Every structure is written in structure tokens, then in C-alpha cells.
Amino acid sequence: MKPAGFIMKVDRLGRVVIPKPIRNKYELNTDDALEVFIDDNGFFLKKYVKTCAFCGKDENLTDFKDKVVCEDCLKELKGL
């Protein structure tokens, strides 16, 4: 990771505003979800894209209990 050239302050409720150039570059829109990743050096945020828990596809998804499953994997599971 490298510095992006922005310094943001955390407000009293713990919120930060993601600078517009970053929102534009990563196509972040209102109500999009972000996923937090951490390591020993800190954390970073990444736009959260739902993917199938089994194959990683991001199309034709269904919520199944606490997992996300694609149509193809769901068919396969039903055949077990």
C-alpha cells in the first residue's frame, strides 16, 4: 500500500468522509458496503462485493442462511 495523499479526521461519532476522488475512482455510491481488512501495519477499506461462498462468482446470488451462494452452486447443493 502507498499513501493516497488524503488525511481525514474522525468525527466524534467515529465517522470519516471518504474523499470524492477516491469515491469516484472506486465507484463508491451512497449505501455501498465497505469491508475492513487488517494486518500488523493497520487497516484498509475495500468496496464489498458479494460473492458465492463456494466458487467466488458475483452473479445470480442468493442468501442461504448466513452464506451467499450462486445459482449454480445452489443447484449442485440441492443435488447432494
Interacting residues with Zn ion (CB under 5 A): 52, 54-55, 57, 70, 73
Residue closer to Zn ion, measured from CB, 23 or 57: 57
Shortest Cβ 28–Zn ion spacing (Å):
25
Shortest Cβ 34–Zn ion spacing (Å):
23
DSSP 3-40: --S------TTS--PPPHHHHHHTT--TT--EEEEEET
Residue 8 in grid coordinates: 481525514
Residue closer to Zn ion, measured from CB, 39 or 63: 63
Shortest Cβ 53–Zn ion spacing (Å):
7
Q: Name the nearest CA neighbour of 49 among 61, 65, 64.
A: 61
User: What's the CA gap between 38 and 62, in Å, rounded?
Assistant: 28
Residue closer to Zn ion, measured from CB, 28 or 61: 61
